[in-house]
Amino acid sequence: MLFEVTDKPLDPARLFQHVRQDAAGAVLLFYGVVRDNNMGRNVEYLEYEAYPEMATKVMTQLVGELREKWEITDVAIQHRTGRLEIGETSLLVAVSSPHRREAFEAGHWLVDRFKDVVPVWKKEVFEGGEEWIEGDRH
């Protein structure tokens, strides 16, 4: 498993290289991207903050759970912190598996769980204000 929290632009090619192996016929690569609107507001940019030491521990636990549910070859995740502009990538999740179904299902599950429990926070700066977006809001 590869897991990184970084304030630098994310590197999908590196994640692909990490999870691609000869025994894996499927690689799923998910991009979470900053969009220009939320709850009817025009978003200007986002600021992400993380608790990296804990994020690493929680992520390791999640990947352990994931491996009990699906036959997965490898997993790689990067999350960016700091100021992100519209269109920039905040999250990359790469999952490889022998066959495609496991990669799709495990990737979907992992992105959802990541959002629920990994300690990363997002502040939305929009026209006319700013707000920390919290988990019970969509």
Partner 1 sequence: MGTVKVRLFARLAELAGTRSEDVEIGEGLRACDVYRLLEERHPQIAGLADKVMYAVNQEYASAEAPLREGDELALIPPVSGGRDAV
Q: Which residues bind partner 1 (CB under 8 A)?
A: 32-33, 48-49, 51, 53-54, 57-58, 90-91, 111-112, 114-123, 132-138
Task: State the minimum distance, in angstroms, from the CB of residue 21 to partner 1.
Answer: 27
Provide DSSP, 21-41.
-TT--EEEEEEEE--SEETTE
By C-beta, is 13 or 138 nearer to partner 1?
138
Task: State the minimum distance, in angstroms, from the CB of residue 86 to partner 1.
Answer: 14
The candidate with the shortest Cα–Cα distance to 121, out of 85, 63, 82, 86, is 82
Cα 2 to Cα 9: distance, rounded to the nearest angstrom:
16
Task: State the minimum distance, in angstroms, from the CB of residue 91 to partner 1.
Answer: 7
